[in-house]
Structure 1
Amino acid sequence: MQVLRSLAVACSLAAGLVSSQTSNTQCVKGLKIFVSRGTGEPLVDALNKDTTLISETGLGNNTRGLGETGKLLMPVFDKIPDSNYTAILYTASNGRRGTNESNYFESVFNGTAMVRKAMTDYATACPSGKMAWIGYSQGAQIISNSLCGMPVIWAQFMPNPSIPEMISFSQPLPANVTKNVIATLLLGDPSHKNGTNYNYGSHNLTGDGVFYRGDTSACEALGKRIRSYCDAGDVYCDVGPAYSDAHVRYVKDRKEELVNYIVEQWNNGGETGEVSKTKTTTRSGASPSTTEDASSKAHGLSSTSILAIIMSVVLVVLI
């Protein structure tokens, strides 16, 4: 029975995955989950005979572009009927020597562009459709870039970048696009910043991410609709003296918690818990902090952003 159920779900999800990467967006009655894998995770798991992943997702051979986070999908689908997923099919590369892969910075820029397009396309085609976003490692960074805004220094990897395009990418996606994102999971995000109201994970973090984010106000404004998990010892999201296998253990150690978060957000209609000028509530693994009105800070360019754009233009000219 389990095999038949998994096969049926896999067949129905296959159409959603294929169509979602074209210009035709299919709306679903349930929850649309977008997944972006981490650096080095293969694009075509099934063709690479990753039988462990295939069996653990319960999705048959339909595991293209999922990575480790694919293991969260079936438990969510069991509790939220009429749902499916889309994998962001970006390179997730690190430009290792002796390969033709794009470097990490190009991969992040291109992945961010794909996330922004996918989120905008679904919000436009399905104005009442609910979305959840799950990203691991580099895949988490391209999601947070879209929801929080991409630091403009990365815009040098745009093809023929212009200042208007750089300004656009430096800003978080507008509320009319993100309003129906009911849940976001960032796992081991290299742009993690400690002390924000959406941090979860270890209480004993020793540092920020490798590419930590300077302005987190747009993501903080999402309130309960976003969680960033970073555990101590993860050298990508928690730069510090100690190394452990923390970076690869998020799904293994927290699978039930991660699934429950998405399901709870669906059941409560995507509760926002948006921040205000008052002190934020301490959460599991989060440090209490006092924030300004994040919604007002999420819009417009600061003088620092303008300077960064000018520096990016200079870099483009010099490179």
Structure 2
Amino acid sequence: MVGRKFFGALFSIALAGLIQGTQSQDVASKDCATGVHAIISRGQGAGDDLNVMEALSDKILDQIPGSTTLGFPFDHDAEDKFTAVHSGALMLQNYVEKYVKGCPKSKMALIGYSLGAVLTMEAVCGTSSLLLIPVPPLDPSYNTTVIANVVYGDETFVPFQPWNTGNCTVGAGIFPRLNPSTCEPFESSLHSYCDYGDNQCCSPLPMDDNHAHHTYMKKYDQDVVDFIKERLRS
């Protein structure tokens, strides 16, 4: 049984590498964003690639002229969240690299919620949480192009970081990041929203039926758009 699980894990990692190698975001120069290009990663579950993040996508398109958005097509319906995060983080890095190659003057925002938040932070900072399958950090040279990295309810959340936003100040995520210093090249672009009552990023503080994990969009979507605008100006 142990051997079967081991080889199954190896197969999952190999499959993730195959997925990462065959997915990219090649963009014609005429389609490059003149505002911001936002890649938005939703939470776990069935449905389309934007799901509850559609309202944020609409706000970006409405309020930042020349912008484009993409519901990131990672395997959000997978039962194995560890493989979904690993393959999704590698694929997101590939999307960034391909987009920058095709649109070197465009600016990007990476936005994630719940499972999408984990893979977004993994793609930017690399892995330093126990149990998650290792991913290397995004090359720091992209910190002038990727001008905003915003996550809601990130399960790798740890307290006392300069990019923490929201009201959780002492709780931690289910898979807390053990070496947050790997995020520092992107520090000025990072906002990590985590509120009390979110069992996934602010455990073990007030349970509240995990209510806070589902209220970020209504509370903070406009703040995120304003943050992206500010980063574009700077």
Residue 243 in structure 1 maps to residue 221 in structure 2: no
Q: Is contact 1:108-1:141 (8 Å) kept?
A: yes
1:246, distance to aligned residue in structure 2 (A): 0.2
Aligned 1:98-113 pairs, distance under 5 A: 101-113=78-90
1:114 match: secondary structure: helix
Q: Is contact 1:206-1:240 (8 Å) kept?
A: no
Residue 66 in structure 1 maps to residue 50 in structure 2: yes
* Separation of aligned partners in 1, 2:125 and 2:137: 5
* Separation of aligned partners in 1, 2:229 and 2:137: 25
Q: 1:88 is aligned with what amino acid?
A: F
Aligned 1:294-313 pairs, distance under 5 A: none
- Once the two structures are superposed, residues 269-295 of structure 1 have per-residue CA deviations (whole angstroms, 9 ceiling, x without a partner) of xxxxxxxxxxxxxxxxxxxxxxxxxxx
* Separation of aligned partners in 1, 2:71 and 2:198: 24
* Separation of aligned partners in 1, 2:147 and 2:90: 21
- Once the two structures are superposed, residues 35-88 of structure 1 have per-residue CA deviations (whole angstroms, 9 ceiling, x without a partner) of 000112x332xxxxxxxxxxxxxxxxxxxx012222112222223212111221
- Which residue, 107, 111, 115 being the options, matches 1:134? 111
- Once the two structures are superposed, residues 12-43 of structure 1 have per-residue CA deviations (whole angstroms, 9 ceiling, x without a partner) of xxxxxxxxx65532422221010000112x33
Q: 1:132 is aligned with what amino acid?
A: A
Q: 1:66 is aligned with what amino acid?
A: L
* Separation of aligned partners in 2, 1:81 and 1:229: 25
* Separation of aligned partners in 2, 1:205 and 1:121: 36
Q: Is contact 1:235-1:243 (8 Å) kept?
A: yes
Bigger Rg, structure 1 or 2:
1
- Once the two structures are superposed, residues 179-212 of structure 1 have per-residue CA deviations (whole angstroms, 9 ceiling, x without a partner) of 301111110000111111100100x544210011
Unaligned runs of 5+ in 2: 1-22
Q: 1:133 is aligned with what amino acid?
A: L
1:197 match: secondary structure: coil
Residue 266 in structure 1 maps to residue 229 in structure 2: no
* Separation of aligned partners in 1, 2:139 and 2:100: 11
Unaligned runs of 5+ in 1: 1-20, 45-64, 94-100, 156-165, 269-319
1:222 match: secondary structure: helix
Q: 1:126 is aligned with what amino acid?
A: C
* Separation of aligned partners in 1, 2:170 and 2:149: 24
Equivalent residue, structure 1, for 2:137: 172
* Separation of aligned partners in 2, 1:132 and 1:138: 17
Equivalent residue, structure 2, for 1:121: 98
Equivalent residue, structure 1, for 2:40: 35
Q: 1:225 is aligned with what amino acid?
A: S
1:221 match: secondary structure: helix
Distance 1:211 1:241, change over 3 A: same
* Separation of aligned partners in 2, 1:261 and 1:121: 25
Q: Is contact 2:197-2:207 (8 Å) kept?
A: yes
Q: Is contact 1:201-1:231 (8 Å) kept?
A: yes
1:128 match: secondary structure: coil
Aligned 1:73-92 pairs, distance under 5 A: 73-92=57-76
- Once the two structures are superposed, residues 242-278 of structure 1 have per-residue CA deviations (whole angstroms, 9 ceiling, x without a partner) of 212000000111222222111121122xxxxxxxxxx
Equivalent residue, structure 2, for 1:291: none
Q: Is contact 1:124-1:177 (8 Å) kept?
A: no
Residue 200 in structure 1 maps to residue 165 in structure 2: yes
Q: 1:114 is aligned with what amino acid?
A: M
1:139, distance to aligned residue in structure 2 (A): 0.2
Structure 1 residue runs of 4+, over 6 Å off? none
Q: Is contact 1:189-1:228 (8 Å) kept?
A: yes
Q: 1:262 is aligned with what amino acid?
A: I
